[in-house]
Amino acid sequence: MVAERKMQPPLPPPEHHRRVLRFVVFLAVSLLAFSCWALVNSRINVALPDSAVLTPALTAQGDRRPAGDPASIPPAVPASGNATARAVKLSDPVIREPLAGEGEGEGERERSKRCDAGSAALRVYVYDLPAEFHFGMLGWDGKGKAAAWPDVRDAGAVPHYPGGLNLQHSVAYWLTLDILSSALALPPGGRPCVAVRVANASLADVFFVPFFASLSYNRHSKLRRGERASRNRVLQAELVKYLMRKEEWRRWGGKNHLVVPHHPNSMMEARKKLSAAMFVLSDFGRYSPDVANLKKDVIAPYMHVVRSLGDADSPAFDQRPVLAYFQGAIHRKAGGKVRQRLYQLLKDEHDVHFTYGSVRQNGIRRATAGMSTSKFCLNIAGDTPSSNRLFDAIVSHCVPVIVSDDIELPFEDVLDYSEFCVFVRAADAAKKGFLLRLLRGISRDEWTKMWMRLKEVAHHFEFQYPSRSGDAVQMIWGAVARKMHSVQLQIHKRGRYQRTGSES
Ligand SMILES: *[C@@H]1O[C@H](CO)[C@@H](O)[C@H](O)[C@H]1NC(C)=O
Ligand SMILES: *[C@@H]1O[C@H](CO)[C@@H](O)[C@H](O)[C@H]1NC(C)=O
């Protein structure tokens, strides 16, 4: 068998050869023809709109939508695209009004964009005080107009707060503008939804008293010729009378009312009479503990006066040649003695900047430059435990060094200040060499960590209108909402037996 196989002829006959050759030529010509066709075809496809080459599978998917629904225009997504992704994409840029018969997911999205009494954390009833208590002080003349409030739809046209140092305590102004804007039909997603204004007092969590108390102190404290009492005093007396007549105040003795005497000297006459209310304050320095305390009141930041640094143009460790910066009055009354002591300790250090004088108009630019080129900014107790310097330091991304034992800080229940501030007890700061050793001992890495955190938190200290999510205005509403929980607890407890008529 093996020998036989070896004997067979090794090559195919010539007839077979020719057939193979013909087949190869045919194959080559066919391939060439096919590639020419493919090339021409692809050119045509590029020139045509996507919709002209829709696959039947995709059109079938589109057909599942109800007729007349704009979404039945076939979407330009690959047939393999995932349905969730497509639905989100479709509803985004084009379709704005809620459509009848649309998917449940869509309806939920629309609902979540609206800010109403159901979705806000805090429902606020705003007293329609006469204009002289608020925007009247800013030149807005409410008289003769039907509206109790200025038109806040155009942010550029709302009455302006006087600039300069008055702005530090402008908290009531920003809160009022924001809560007024909640009545507007703003575009969906346009306004943060922490607090919302309600017209029906029985729906309110808190009653807002829109008195610009700090401005009244700044502007109207001086006794004018022929007056027996300053305008600031008269307004306070009228406010007390107004509130005491209100059923809403009398019901719970004012407990669920919000008043904003942010300037330490504002509402000197009325603060005791209204002390049941929740106050928004800069600190407790000039309050007795029964009038104001952390249990019922909210600490709000000062509005900073230096320019905020953008994230991109914030000098890093090596671009800040000054180790420590302080600007302010050195000689102060009781409580500020540590300033004088620190001045003596630090005045001869080459990399410490210690200057007299408050931040006045032309000083603002110098302070902006000074703080943004310093690694640490000193906040030393003055005649009040707090000052706007802390907030100037924060927006300059200059790590605050807080030497003020009694200071209360805004939003400390949600912010850990030790992540971006250095705290030093006044007694320690007064020791020779203590502060410098501490600051020089903070490594570049440690400092940079605090600086990065400062950049993250700085927006919590910005006041603006329109307010933005997470800014000072929203943070204050949030703090008020959290405080209201304990007020609600007291109120609910007191109301336990209202159905059976007995007083608790
Ligand atoms: C579909 O897309 C959505 C939205 O982009 C995504 O969350 C989801 O994980 C995707 N599902 C699948 C199966 O890819
Ligand atoms: C206010 O709300 C209460 C409780 O929901 C309701 O009973 C009352 O009718 C409302 N008042 C007005 C004027 O809408």
HEC string for 172-236: HHHHHHHHHHCCCCCCCCCCCCCEEECCCHHHCCEEECCCCHHHHHHHHCCCCCCCCCCHHHHHH
Q: At what angle do helices 83-91 and 104-113 cross, to 10 degrees?
A: 50
Which residue's alpha carbon is at the smallest distance from atom 7 of ligand 2? 202
Q: Is residue 318 predicted with pLDDT exceeding 60?
A: yes
CA of 266 to the centre of ligand 2 (A): 36
Q: What is the pLDDT of residue 300?
A: 98
Mutate to test the pocket of ligand 1, among 82, 89, 92 (most ligand atoms within 8 A of CB): 82
Question: Atom 11 (ligand 2): residue with closest C-alpha?
Answer: 200
Give the pLDDT score at 10: 53
Helix, coil or strand: residue 283: coil
Which CATH architecture describes the domain 317-461?
Answer: 3-Layer(aba) Sandwich (3.40)
pLDDT greater than 50 at residue 206: yes
Q: Looking at residue 52, what is its pLDDT? A: 34
Residue 434 has pLDDT above 70, yes or no: yes
Ligand nearest to the CA of 201: 2
Range in 211-215, 390-394, 409-413, 485-489 with the lowest mean pLDDT: 485-489
What is the pLDDT confidence band of residue 187, given thresholds at 50, 70 and 90?
A: low
248 CA from centroid of ligand 2 (Å):
14
Q: What are the boundaries of each domain within the chain? A: 23-53, 54-113, 122-299, 317-461
pLDDT at 244 exceeding the cut of 50: yes
* 3-class state of residue 378 by DSSP: strand
CA distance 377 to 421: 10
* 290, pLDDT greater than 90: yes
Token duo for residue 409: 């800080």
**Confidence (pLDDT) at 474:** 96
For residue 117, the model assigns a pLDDT of 84
Give the model confidence (pLDDT) of 48-105 as tens digits: 333 333 333 333 333 333 333 333 333 333 333 333 333 333 222 222 233 333 334 4
Question: Is the model's pLDDT at 298 over the cut of 70?
Answer: yes
Comparing 78 with 204, the larger pLDDT belongs to: 204
Task: Find the 199 Cα to ligand 2 centroid distance in Å.
Answer: 10
Residue whose CA lies nearest to ligand 2 atom number 1: 200
Using the predicted structure, report yes or no on whether residue 39 has a pLDDT greater than 70: no
Q: Is 500 in the pocket of ligand 1 (CB under 6 A)?
A: no
Nearest CA to ligand 1 atom 12: 82
Q: Is the CB of 80 under 6 A from ligand 1?
A: no
pLDDT greater than 60 at residue 464:
yes
% pLDDT > 90, the chain: 53
Whose alpha carbon is nearest atom 14 of ligand 1?
Answer: 82
- How confident is residue 20, by pLDDT bands cut at 50, 70 and 90? confident
In 121-212, the DSSP E strands lie at: 122-126, 195-197, 206-208
